[in-house]
Amino acid sequence: MADLTLRDVKKSYGNLNILHGIDLDIKSGEFIVFVGPSGCGKSTLLRSIAGLEEITGGELYIAGEKVNDVPPSKRGIAMVFQSYALYPHMTVYDNMAFGMKIAGESKAEIDKRVRAAAEILQLTKYLDRLPKAMSGGQRQRVAIGRAIVRNPKVFLFDEPLSNLDAALRVATRIEIAKLKESMPNTTMIYVTHDQVEAMTLADRIVVLKDGRIEQVGSPMELYKHP
């Protein structure tokens, strides 16, 4: 469970200002989608929340704690990227288990979490497969599974479907909708430029334009009027 607060969050590269002071309150368990044209700063904002980018102004709080100076690994977040980098020589099971093994978790705990994640993502019958024997959509589900087993408080998605073909995109979007249902306490933030993804997944949509928030509202509120 974690709420997020962004207070006047700014990001610049040298004298190039990318985010011009973002104010946003995200409730625990909310599914927030960032939309907006290419280059408006969606990915920069998400990466700033993750701590992969250092913000140059403002404050960022996760579950009440100011995290400006907290490294990514200590923020309780997990992130799913556009392109999934699975270990090719490891089975699906081992791909999902790897981080926990490194962290020294017990075999029983690893097994419990991997199987629970596989169940949610309908990967149970593929646990012994190698990534090369799976479709792109299935591989992206393994990447999501790797993030789930971390027990994140906040789940971040950076255009997770954009490398998939149209049919797989729909199927994987439905999986993500189920994931949202099965992890109702986990706050999720999702970046896309796809309006259908935004409308079907979001509790609230944040529309960004030129590094500023242009609009915030539920899908109904934003898309009721053309």
Of 77 and 213, nearer to ligand ADP (C-beta) is 77
Q: Which amino acid is at 36?
A: G
- Spatial contact of 82 and 158, defined as CB atoms under 8 Å apart: yes
**Cα 165 from chain centroid?**
20
Contacts of 195 (CB under 8 A, 6+ apart): 35, 223
- Spatial contact of 156 and 77, defined as CB atoms under 8 Å apart: yes
Q: What are phi and psi of 66, to 5 degrees?
A: -70, 125
The distance of closest approach from Cβ of residue 44 to ligand ADP in the complex, given in angstroms and rounded to an integer, is 3
- Spatial contact of 77 and 152, defined as CB atoms under 8 Å apart: yes
42 binds ligand ADP (CB under 6 A): yes
Site string for ligand ADP, 58-97 (x = CB under 6 A): --------------xx---xxx------------------
Tokens of 181: 């249902």
103 binds ligand ADP (CB under 6 A): yes
The distance of closest approach from Cβ of residue 160 to ligand ADP in the complex, given in angstroms and rounded to an integer, is 11
40 binds ligand ADP (CB under 6 A): yes
106 binds ligand ADP (CB under 6 A): no
**Cα 151 from chain centroid?**
13
| 3-state DSSP assignment of residue 112 | helix
The distance of closest approach from Cβ of residue 43 to ligand ADP in the complex, given in angstroms and rounded to an integer, is 3
Q: How far apart are CA 151 and CA 82, in angstroms?
A: 20
Residues 141, 144, 145, 147: what is their CA dihedral angle, to the nearest 10 degrees? 170
The distance of closest approach from Cβ of residue 51 to ligand ADP in the complex, given in angstroms and rounded to an integer, is 9
The residues in 10-39 that bind ligand ADP, with binding defined as CB under 6 A, are 13, 16, 18, 36, 38-39
Of 167 and 215, nearer to ligand ADP (C-beta) is 215
Say how many residues touch ligand ADP, by CB under 6 A.
Answer: 21
The distance of closest approach from Cβ of residue 105 to ligand ADP in the complex, given in angstroms and rounded to an integer, is 9
Binding test (CB under 6 A) with ligand ADP, winner from 24, 44, 140, 187: 44
Residue numbers at the binding site for ligand ADP (CB under 6 A): 13, 16, 18, 36, 38-44, 72-73, 77-79, 99, 102-103, 146-147
